[in-house]
Amino acid sequence: MSIEQPAYYNKIGAGKNVVLVHGWGVDSAIWHDLVEKLSMNYCVYLVDLPGFGEQAEIADYSLSSIAETILAKLPNNAVWCGWSLGGLIATYVAQQFPERVDKLVQVCASMRFVEQAPWLGVKEDVFEAFKLGVNKQPKKTLNRFLSLQAMGSETIKSDIVTIKKLLVNQPTPQPSALIAGLDLLNETDLRDAFSQLSMPCLSVFGEHDTLIPIANIEAVKKLQPLQQQAIFKHSSHAPFISEKDHFIDVLKYFMGD
């Protein structure tokens, strides 16, 4: 597969390699506060997904094309930490390129975002509503989505302020990438792929997450009996913002430090 354009990324710090992959509607700036502490002990790679941040769009917005694009300039071996949509992409990379992924961290990520009983998830009409909103009122729709990241968190007001502050000077995501990202979330099912992984895995849940139901936690455990799980009791969809210090401690412990 030909790579249309190597990924845009920032490399910060020195030590064990850690790749951070952001979610839908944002870019790598969302990790800024986390990186300040992580980079004291690790070499952190911040990568923008195609059509977000500084990364150009790609014609084929598939998991395989995205993976090939972001792998082009990333280290040969690293701990991969993906949030939401980024968790899907990190899981795909771990399954397709296991030699590149030392350990996998899924942050509020579902291997299937769309509900399919008994698997709980987001309703398909929610994705369609967001697609309609992106087409008609992209700025308003994105602001609404950013607020959803903190909905239910015990620090909802400060979380929303932090998220918007981190992204205030960032490029606006490309509309085509927003639509394609929603389609990817709607259509992807990596449950089988996740069950086949051999590297250590950590799944992080926010107890008050309105997008990724914590009620799936036992179903996720059945897919990967050896995986580790961490529940952030005061968080919604962004525990690395709501409980930053605790998140860093959990991450470092999982990575072996």
Catalytic residue status for 237: yes
Q: Considering the candidates 153, 209, 235, 242, report the single residue annotated as catalytic.
A: 209
78, 18 Cβ separation under 8 angstroms: yes
Q: Considering the candidates 28, 39, 84, 242, report the single residue annotated as catalytic.
A: 84
Q: Pairing state of beta strands 16-21 and 78-83?
A: parallel
* Alpha-carbon distance values, 14 to 39, 71, 190, 255 (Å): 7, 19, 32, 15
| DSSP result, 79-112 | EEEEETHHHHHHHHHHHH-GGGEEEEEEES--SS
Q: Considering the candidates 27, 159, 236, 237, report the single residue annotated as catalytic.
A: 237
H, E, C per residue of 209-248? CCCCCHHHHHHHHHHCCCCEEEEECCCCCCHHHHCHHHHH
Q: Pairing state of beta strands 9-12 and 42-47?
A: antiparallel
Question: Catalytic amino acids?
Answer: 84, 209, 237
